[in-house]
Structure 1
Amino acid sequence: MNLSNILQSARSDETATIPVGWSQGRATFGGLVAAMLYQRIETALQLATGGPVADTPLRSLTISFVAPAEAGALHTSARVLRAGRSAVQIEAHASQPQENGEQVVTAALASFGKPRASSIAVSNDAFPGLPAPDACQPLPYIEGVVPEFTQHFDYRIGVGALPFSGHHEGRIGGWVRFRESSGPVTIAHLLALIDAWPPAVLPMLKTVAPASSLTWTVELMPAAMAVANASCDDWWQYLAEVEQAEDGYAVIQAKLWNSRGELMALTRQTVTVFA
């Protein structure tokens, strides 16, 4: 099942299904779970504001991956903490049934805010020039080494090196797009795209080892408000860099641009590295 179909189901049902084929080690790909949970958040936003989601765009989303999510039923819920004239704060949880009861697997806090007039404008540099996607190295799928979910994405490495290559630099980036999904892109699609790349610390390792996100914060830029004009067939530019790593944890910051070099999102993750 492709991402667009999964998201449509997650929007219409409080209990949706994580299909097989999206695993990342012993857990489901975190970007997919976050995207499914965001569908419930948007529904709560519409009820709170009584207007289109585009009128109060997402500014920041903080995710905590509490426990591994598995293929199967995923229950999502959202609660509006406050809905003011300009800003709305929403808390959300995704949970799955366990032997001892319902277990929260992912928690989120979303902040939405209407645009307002301001004399301050600080621009961000466009992505440093990348070769065309066809001129970049594809990220190969190697069963047992590369996570299963990556088969749903098309990657072209333009910066850094392949995971587990013992590279001296904690940096990875290039182009990414969906392999199967079609139609317009939504914010939920963007969340999956941003989280699809291997953690930037993996190219520094010399042997295969797992890594998983512990916390994840995404800041959406004004250009993301027009994301519906993009197609799932489009290429996106991505760059991630390790800011600090020790004690089995790494802090990684990243940026996502569209194919025209417009900044769409800033993100930061704390990643658990099992090596």
Structure 2
Amino acid sequence: MSFAAILAGAEALDDGFAVVVPETWMQGRTTYGGFTAALALVAARQVGGELPPLRSAVVSFVGPASGRVEARARELRRGRNAVWVEARVEGEGGTALTATFVFMAAVPSALSLNDAAPPAELIARDEAMPFNPPPLAPAFLRHHLEVRFALPRPAERRADLCHWVRLKPASAVEPMLELVLLADALPPAALPLMNPATPISSMTWQVNLLTAAPQTEDGWWLLRSTADYAQHGCSSQRMQVWNSAGEPMAIGMQSIALFG
């Protein structure tokens, strides 16, 4: 079942909504993180009053979520140009995710800086080879995503992943929500240096949206994750998203727990 269809069948609550997560959106014993973060964003947009565009999110993946989950949100502060909203997703085992979203209107500025170009060795989307997930790959990857390799295969393993990604079938959700849904789709960047069977878990994720109105062609987004550090079971990685034209859409940072 698509993300849009799940939202369409959501159960309304007095202060939010509830959905049942299908097995196809799972990642091990929990729901795929981008799915849960997108649920939180939907709840945040329902707090009432007109909201400016989303510009930043700070997400904590607190615990596993599966089956029936409930999403709620509350407004923290409404300023002249920005609104802060706190959202929470809870499952049968308690809190699964907390998030703080910042919605901000554009303001005049003399500064213009853009140092977020896609990699120079990028393989064009139409020339990129498809990635065929193995049977043991996460369910959400096998059922809901189309993925293509976006960089040439390196001579040595490195903590750097870059892929073209889009939803299948074509998404029926608006681009900003789709961007949040897909921005966490890559596995941790440290994974190529590890035993593939090593348990891993995302802990926190901060993402800054670089445009108020993301757009792309045919649903394709370019995702890249690069690990900077891994010691004592903790890894830190940088994350970037571009649209099909190579325009920067989002930049993020994530902490990963490595259990082995």
**TM-score normalized with structure 1 length:** 0.85
Q: Which residue of 1 aligns with 2:61?
A: 65
Q: Which residue of 2 aligns with 1:139?
A: 131
Change (3 A) 1:256 1:11: farther
Find 1:148's aligned residue among 139, 153, 162: 139
Change (3 A) 1:207 1:30: closer
Change (3 A) 1:234 1:97: closer
Which one has the bigger helix percentage? 1
Map 1:168-183 to 2 at 5 A: 168-183=157-172
Q: Which residue of 1 aligns with 2:76?
A: 81
Q: Could you tell me how far 1:207 is from its partner in structure 2?
A: 4.2
Q: Which residue of 2 aligns with 1:199?
A: 188
Q: Which residue of 2 aligns with 1:260?
A: 245
| Aligned mates of 1:120, 1:189 — CA distance in 2 | 29
Q: Could you tell me how far 1:179 is from its partner in structure 2?
A: 1.4
Q: Could you tell me how far 1:143 is from its partner in structure 2?
A: 1.6
Find 1:124's aligned residue among 110, 115, 126: 115
| Aligned mates of 1:264, 1:58 — CA distance in 2 | 12
Please state whether the residue corresponding to 2:4 is helix, strand or coil: helix
Change (3 A) 1:90 1:83: same
| Aligned mates of 1:179, 1:156 — CA distance in 2 | 13
Change (3 A) 1:18 1:184: closer
Give a deviation string over 1:101-126, Cα, whole Å, max 9, x none.
xx111101111111100111111242
| Aligned mates of 2:152, 2:257 — CA distance in 1 | 20
Give a deviation string over 1:149-200, Cα, whole Å, max 9, x none.
10211111223769xxx95311010211111133453322111211111111
CA contact (8 A) 1:160 1:172 kept: no
Please state whether the residue corresponding to 1:37 is helix, strand or coil: helix
Find 1:31's aligned residue among 30, 34, 43: 34
Q: Give the % identical residues.
A: 33
Q: Could you tell me how far 1:226 is from its partner in structure 2?
A: 2.0
Q: Which amino acid aligns with 1:198?
A: P
Change (3 A) 1:181 1:73: farther
Q: Which amino acid aligns with 1:235?
A: W
Measured on the aligned residues, the alpha-carbon RMSD in Å equals: 2.2
Please state whether the residue corresponding to 2:100 is helix, strand or coil: strand
Q: How many residues align?
A: 255
Map 1:178-189 to 2 at 5 A: 178-183=167-172, 185-189=174-178
CA contact (8 A) 1:3 1:181 kept: no
CA contact (8 A) 1:31 1:196 kept: yes
Give a deviation string over 1:29-85, Cα, whole Å, max 9, x none.
1110111111000111xx1xx33x4xx111110110111011x21111111111111
Please state whether the residue corresponding to 1:77 is helix, strand or coil: strand
Please state whether the residue corresponding to 1:138 is helix, strand or coil: coil
Q: Which amino acid aligns with 2:110?
A: S
Change (3 A) 1:82 1:173: same
The answer for unaligned runs of 5 or more in structure 1 is: none
**TM-score normalized with structure 2 length:** 0.90
Change (3 A) 1:114 1:126: same
CA contact (8 A) 1:80 1:89 kept: yes
| Aligned mates of 1:85, 1:160 — CA distance in 2 | 47
Q: Which amino acid aligns with 2:198?
A: A
Give a deviation string over 1:1-20, Cα, whole Å, max 9, x none.
01222244459661122122
Change (3 A) 1:8 1:217: farther
